[in-house]
Chain A
Amino acid sequence: MQTKEDIKKLFDERRQRLIDASDLKEPDYVPILSQINAYAIGYAGHTAWEVFDDYDLERECYKKANTDFYFDCILMFGLNHPFKAYFDVGSPTYMVAENNVTIQHMESSQMNADEYDEFIEDPIKFIANKVGGRKIEKLNADYPESYEALEKLYNKIAEFKDNSAFNKKYVTEELGLPIISSRSAANPCDNFFDFIRGFKGTLTDIRRDISKVERAIEALTPYYEKNIPSSQEPQFPWLLSTAHIAPFLSRTQFERLYWPYMKRCVEAAHNCGTKYICFMEGVWKQHYDLFDELPKGAYIAALEGDDIFEFKKRFGDRMAIAGGMPQGMLKYSSAEECIDHTKKVYDACAPGGGFIFTLDKAIVDPADVNADTFRKVNEFAREYGKY
């Protein structure tokens, strides 16, 4: 039975492990990061629908998955949105997949190609009345039903935030696991694609008139600036970004639409004493040369599609790297093959420090990995990762 002091000691050791790795030093062990998302729900034998209304059950599911496999730290603990509240107001933004576990983002565009000027003139009015009004069914009801729906939605979001704060305290004090980020710095370009104009619409617009898209993102940016650090922050946890549009942009498009805000966030985090960890979805190779502009040690690159061996050679002395284990390998390859791969990754990436072992993507479906293989790989990684 672990005492409170044991758990605190464990937490402090793991926290220091992460700080050392991010500072490009060799810690005592290579830290292992959990990216368990809705997988936890199915792994524990439950459905998303059961968890939506039961915060205790949600905690049980995430505790089981994050302690059955060895981890030093966690990306997320619990659902990342109050999805049920979104469903209740008639929003189509997310859906529960047929497996009753995975929660999927359903892209929908509420902005038309001829509405850029209106958006640029007053983004808040446009987002409320056009995006919200077109997307969220219950906000279009007669007054006061519409107000009651909005009030209920905001109350549920507040309740969700309180539960997230409770979860953070729970994993710290009961499980001794640090959560790697305290807040997120979403890129306005990502959110413009995701939630306003849509993927297809924006990519088409960029090719027709990139300056309009650029002006729209510039108009949106002031509402995201509160996420940019402006004063001294603790060294850990870090500032988080989950970035997914970049692989679909050319080098020129990326440099105009995405990089300026991203670079500001990285530099601000660095100047305020913390780090910026970016989960780089897809392949970013076409943008690599821009990373040379970042201060040494400011950025932690969590890789999905990029070649970790090549990335380590190119950037290993400038930034920490997280990654190494393809989710698909844990599903389709044998435990021996996965362990051999882990060994190769550690041999290439661990020397000199600056390495965090993790999956290439968060797991969201109970069938995403073979649990037995996953357990064996993390147990091997824990032992093999001793410096």
Chain B
Amino acid sequence: MKKTVLELVEEYVDKTMPDATPEQKKKAIDANVILLLRV
């Protein structure tokens, strides 16, 4: 089974920020994706 990178990042944010609001999660997803640019 394959998952896209965005799905992986979403899963990571869900697991590490379980109590965050949808807006906080969206910001965290954006920031974590932008981090991948420099990887």
Q: Is the CB of A81 within 8 A of B38?
A: yes
Q: Is the CB of B1 within 8 A of A127?
A: no
**Residues of chain A with a CB closer than 8 A to B38's CB:** 81, 93, 195
Known A-B contacts A132-B5, A146-B2; A124 and B33 likewise in contact (beta carbons under 8 Å): yes
Nearest CB of chain A from residue B14's CB, rounded to whole Å: 11
Chain B interface residue count: which class?
20 to 34
**Residues of chain B with a CB closer than 8 A to A157's CB:** 35
Please measure, in the bound complex, the distance between the C-alpha atom of A128 and the C-alpha atom of B32, giving whole angstroms: 9
- Looking across the interface, which residue of chain A has its beta carbon closest to that of B15? A151
Q: Is the CB of A127 within 8 A of B33?
A: yes
Q: Is the CB of A128 within 8 A of B39?
A: no
Q: Is the CB of A143 within 8 A of B6?
A: no
What is the interface of chain B mostly: helix, strand, loop, or mixed? helix
Known A-B contacts A81-B38, A128-B36, A136-B39; A147 and B11 likewise in contact (beta carbons under 8 Å): yes
Please measure, in the bound complex, the distance between the C-alpha atom of A89 and the C-alpha atom of B39, giving whole angstroms: 9
**Residues of chain B with a CB closer than 8 A to A125's CB:** 6
**Residues of chain A with a CB closer than 8 A to B37's CB:** 127, 131, 191, 195-196
User: Which chain A residues (54-103) contact chain B, with CB distance < 8 Å?
Assistant: 81, 85-86, 89, 91, 93
User: Which chain B residues (5-39) contact chain A, with CB distance < 8 Å?
Assistant: 5-6, 8-9, 11-12, 29-39
**Residues of chain B with a CB closer than 8 A to A361's CB:** none
**Residues of chain A with a CB closer than 8 A to B9's CB:** 128, 150
Interface residues of A (CB under 8 A from B): 81, 85-86, 89, 91, 93, 124-125, 127-129, 131-133, 135-136, 139-140, 142-143, 146-147, 150-151, 153-154, 157, 191, 195-196, 223-224, 226
Interface residues of B (CB under 8 A from A): 1-6, 8-9, 11-12, 29-39
Question: 19 more A-B contacts (CB under 8 A) besides A125-B6, A154-B12, A223-B30?
Answer: A81-B38, A93-B38, A127-B34, A127-B37, A128-B6, A128-B33, A129-B5, A129-B6, A131-B36, A132-B33, A136-B39, A142-B2, A143-B1, A147-B3, A147-B11, A150-B9, A150-B12, A191-B37, A223-B34
